[in-house]
Amino acid sequence: MRTRYDRSYFEGLLGQGSPNSPRNRKRLALILSEERQGKLLEIGCGPGHFLRTAAAHFKVTGLDISSYVAGPLAELAGAQIKQADIENCVLPRNMYAVVAVFNVLEHLLSPVSVVQEIYQTLQPGGLLVGSVPHNRGLIGWTHTILTNLFDKTHCATYPPAKWRQLFSSAGFAEIDFFGEVMCGKKHSWYLRGASWRKVAFNLIFRCRKPVH
């Protein structure tokens, strides 16, 4: 698995766009509507496009399985960059105010155990935000099939009901789902209301670790 996430993966057709793109600014705005400061961990940070955007507001840490991430992020002041396989990681407990996992969970053989590990690394009241392919409805289902065809690293493209059950079983509360439609790698729109289930490409999720 590790050798699949090289430079060609991150800069190819399904790559992550560019620093400070409208899509990454939209992701940050989503987080800032809930959390304004603290430590943020991005799992599957790739070359760090979102981390660069988030670093203006948070103390950021990036984790990725690929050795390619080390070079592009070496000069990001104040950031901690870790090369590791999240499926074999033990994360520090009660550390982060925010964990971001944008289009990562679908690549994992065991997303259940990873979501449980994320729960443990969040502070009480901490925020989990991310995205997965929206494997539901004609458009979402078709988009998922096509991305699975082009990206052989996809392992877990579940329907929304299974993701909700997974987050709930891990202990998360305030689970919120809505849709994302993309235009290229740099632009996207968030959709709410009943229509997103029919036309969204991605499922955006946002949930919290309860304060006990």
Is 3.30.420.40 the CATH classification of the domain at 2-208?
no
At residue 19, the pLDDT reads 73
**Domain positions in the chain:** 2-208
CB 195 within 8 A of CB 134: no
Sign of CA dihedral 138, 173, 162, 2: positive
At residue 79, the pLDDT reads 81
Low-confidence ranges of the chain (pLDDT < 70): 1-17, 69-72, 74-75, 77
SS3 content of the chain, % helix, strand, coil (to 5): 35, 25, 35
At residue 2, the pLDDT reads 42
At residue 77, the pLDDT reads 65
At residue 46, the pLDDT reads 85
